[in-house]
Amino acid sequence: MTHNEPLYTVTQLAAELGITVRTLHFYEAQGLITPRRAGNTRVYSPRDRGRMILIQRGKRLGFSIREIRDYLELYDMDPTHEQQTKALLEAVRARIHLLAEQQVALTQTLSELQEIEQQALAALRSMEASLAAARMEQTGRSL
């Protein structure tokens, strides 16, 4: 770290990233970020900020903490980033496959629910028509 790099307090970094201070503490406890200390204050480097952006993206895309940790560790170990890129490609392909399967299941479920909805509406219309006919018949008898 150079002396010219900006440092962030926990509050500043949380605000900049649109997350809570608690979220930063959680990822620190998970060992995904390692802020330095200036006295009793945690200070975050641009590297920590970058890692948090990657963590947030990974979570948004549905990756587990373990998968994100593995990815970040590869980044630290491999200066060429070849291993990291290969691991990312493999993880992304697996995620795409899983989401495609879920999409098929969701489409089937939505279709089935829409069919049930139509059946329920038809049944209600039939019941309402029967009740209306019974009322009219009742009204006709009472005259």
Residue 65, exposed/middle/buried by CB under 10 A (0-12, 13-18, 19+)?
middle
pLDDT digits (tens, 9 = 90+) for 72-100: 888 777 778 788 888 889 989 999 999 99
The answer to pTM > 0.75 is no
What would the two tokens of residue 78 be?
């491999």
pLDDT digits (tens, 9 = 90+) for 39-71: 888 899 999 999 999 999 999 999 999 999 988
Please name the fold of domain 1-63: Multidrug-efflux Transporter Regulator; Chain: A; Domain 2 (1.10.1660)
From the list 95, 49, 88, 51, the residue with the least C-alpha distance to 71 is 88
Give the start-to-end residue ranges of the domains of the chain.
Answer: 1-63, 97-143
Helix 21-29 vs helix 46-60: crossing angle, to nearest 10: 90
